[in-house]
Amino acid sequence: MSDVRKEPSLETIISLAKRRGFVFPSSEIYGGFAGVYDYGPLGVELENNLKAQWWKKMVYDRDDIVGLDSSIFMNPRIWEASGHTKNFSDPMAQCNVCNTRVRVDKALQAIGIDADEKMSEEEISNLFDAHRSEIACEHCGSKDFSAVRAVNLLVQSNLGDFTEQGNSPSYLRGETCQGIYVNYKNVLDSTPVKIPFGIAQIGKAFRNEISPRQFLFRGREFEQMEMQYFVAPEDEMTEYKKLREYRWDAMLALGLQEKNLRWKQHKNLVFYAKDAWDIEYAFPWGFDELEGVHARGDYDLTQHTKGSGKPLEYFEQETGRRFTPHIIESSGGVGRLFLAMLVDAYREDVLNGETRVYLAFPPSIAPVKAMISPLLKNKPELVEKAREVYTALKKDIPQIMWDDNGNIGKRYRRQDEIGTPFCITIDFDTLGEKPELKDTVTLRDRDTATQTRISISDISSRIRVGTLNKGI
């Protein structure tokens, strides 16, 4: 990968994420479970902020897009019609010494060979065979691999299947958008939308990834934020360009640094796509896919018309014309965006002679907007006043935190490390030791570590202006 980024390392981010309660490995006390993660108390707040901002951008800011929350389980025929039961696979080989599985296209890419997603199993197998001597098992170093075989990524379940052999599987959805396609008619018939219009959805998706890796980047259970936009065939490419620009602007509005973003067009298209571009982010291992913006043509609705036997055409009242809408989509993973935000925000500087780590989150996505604390926790009068300020503020701004652990310097460091934009301290001046400062507090800024005094009555609006309204 080009432009490899060195700092922060992925290990630094994983360790901070665990230490501070952003992300825990799933089932950790049982030795973990590959490709699955749990979001901790701060992680769930950050995640909610990212999802809320996506929803605002993709639904509330638009008159032409509505929301949906479709089920994870669907009639298995949907996955046959969509092509997933047949085509949604990755090529795999297994190390004959230690049984570690490799994803063959990624292993070939790692030695600079582009494996075409459209290649047949035989073609990719031949390509792998031709380069066996250059590919070593990442676990034991052996070059002795099994033959290549295609592994379907759909996760099967026995929901509704009472045959002992399990031969009528249902699937956990492999992408959220199929729930949108099969509800396209319902939305059309129940709301005033007219083409062009979009349907947006946030929800879990599941894939039996051969080698889940890079923390939240490639998991087996993850969340997608997808918007499917239904257009007249002749407008597909114009709308596709507009959507790409809209999504790029959304990334910048979130606060990601432009230098860490770039576009990449797919050379090799997956089975449903007509054209595909990725927004890539400079992850610690280099630029890699953050979100995809795809032109899917009439593939999806045509397949579901065939599969269900139900017509999914659109009737254009103005012209009396009927057509199958074409679809363009934006599809991003919550986990990938979450990881990009952590990496983007990570900073180290030197403060009072000591190295300090802080997360320079854009305030609107920071999981905690402000920390409130009494200067000393063994002074009841300070604690009482601080509690009063905290309780009043929490009604207005729920994402605030009480912290009276350790000395004030330690508390500031802890808040810096979780990216809290403001720390508010109640001291003796708040109580009127200097009468002119009565009912004022110190407000410390995370990025500059400077403190100013503001009135208690101004705290809420100061934090609102500084956090909730910024950027988005």
* Closer Cβ to ligand GAP, 284 or 421, answer by number: 284
Q: Among 325, 332, 362, 367, which residue interacts with ligand GAP (rule: CB under 6 A)? A: 332
Strands 149-152 and 170-172: unpaired
Task: Count the neighbouring beta carbons within 10 Å of the beta carbon of residue 328.
Answer: 27
Q: Among 43, 219, 362, 363, which residue interacts with ligand GAP (rule: CB under 6 A)? A: 219
Shortest CB 292 distance to ligand GAP, Å: 4
Using H for helix, E for strand and C for coil, what is the string for 21-83? CCEEECCHHHCCCCCCEEECHHHHHHHHHHHHHHHHHHHHCCCCEEECCCCCECCCHHHHHCC
* Closer Cβ to ligand GAP, 81 or 423, answer by number: 81
Q: Under a CB-based contact definition with an 8 Å cutoff, are residues 36 and 221 in contact?
A: yes
Shortest CB 335 distance to ligand GAP, Å: 5
* Closer Cβ to ligand GAP, 106 or 379, answer by number: 106
Q: Of 17-25, 79-87, 284-292, 350-358, which segment contacts ligand GAP by CB under 6 A?
A: 284-292
For 74-154, strand residue ranges (E) read 89-94, 101-103, 149-152
Picking from 442, 452, 448, the residue whose alpha carbon sits closest to that of residue 389 is 442
Q: How far is CA 181 from CA 268, 301, 344, in A?
A: 24, 7, 34
Q: Of 217-225, 346-354, 376-384, 416-424, which segment contacts ligand GAP by CB under 6 A?
A: 217-225
Q: Among 152, 224, 425, 442, which residue interacts with ligand GAP (rule: CB under 6 A)? A: 224
Q: How far is CA 35 from CA 287, 290, 417, 454, in A?
A: 21, 17, 26, 47
Q: How far is CA 158 from CA 105, 152, 273, in A?
A: 30, 17, 30
Spell 231-240 as b/e; 16+ CB within 10 A means b. bbeebbeebb
Answer yes or no whether residue 177 interacts with ligand GAP by CB under 6 A: yes
> Hey, is 303 helix, strand or coil?
helix
Q: Among 45, 105, 209, 280, which residue interacts with ligand GAP (rule: CB under 6 A)? A: 209
* Closer Cβ to ligand GAP, 204 or 434, answer by number: 204
Rounded Cα gap, residues 94 and 210, in angstroms? 10
* Closer Cβ to ligand GAP, 289 or 417, answer by number: 289
* Closer Cβ to ligand GAP, 266 or 347, answer by number: 266
Shortest CB 438 distance to ligand GAP, Å: 52
Handedness of CA 290, 276, 265, 129 (dihedral sign): positive
Answer yes or no whether residue 336 interacts with ligand GAP by CB under 6 A: yes
Task: Count interface residues toward ligand GAP (CB under 6 A).
Answer: 18
The residue written with tokens 């599809």 in the block is 331
Q: Among 175, 236, 300, 404, which residue interacts with ligand GAP (rule: CB under 6 A)? A: 175
Binding pattern for the stretch 287-316 against ligand GAP, x by CB under 6 A and - elsewhere: --x-xx------------------------
Shortest CB 360 distance to ligand GAP, Å: 23
Shortest CB 237 distance to ligand GAP, Å: 18
* Closer Cβ to ligand GAP, 200 or 400, answer by number: 200
Picking from 152, 155, 178, 156, the residue whose alpha carbon sits closest to that of residue 169 is 156
Answer yes or no whether residue 333 interacts with ligand GAP by CB under 6 A: yes
Rounded Cα gap, residues 333 and 374, in angstroms? 40
Q: Of 14-22, 102-110, 120-128, 222-230, which segment contacts ligand GAP by CB under 6 A?
A: 222-230
* Closer Cβ to ligand GAP, 80 or 161, answer by number: 80
> Which residue's beta carbon is nearest to the bound ligand GAP?
333
Phi/psi at 136 (nearest 5 deg)?
A: -110, 150
* Closer Cβ to ligand GAP, 106 or 414, answer by number: 106
* Closer Cβ to ligand GAP, 247 or 369, answer by number: 247
Q: At what angle do helices 456-463 and 380-396 cross, to 10 degrees?
A: 40
Enumerate the β-bridge partners of residue 99.
Answer: none
Answer yes or no whether residue 152 interacts with ligand GAP by CB under 6 A: no
Please tell me whether the peptide bond between 325 and the residue prior to it is cis, using omega within 30 degrees of 0. no
Rounded Cα gap, residues 86 and 153, in angstroms? 10
Shortest CB 23 distance to ligand GAP, Å: 13
Answer yes or no whether residue 275 interacts with ligand GAP by CB under 6 A: no
Q: Would you list the DSSP string of 360-404?
A: ---TTT-S-SEEEEES-TT-HHHHHHHHHHHHHHHHH-SSEEE--
* Closer Cβ to ligand GAP, 243 or 456, answer by number: 243
The footprint of ligand GAP (CB under 6 A) covers 175, 177, 207, 209, 218-219, 222, 224, 226, 289, 291-292, 329, 331-333, 335-336
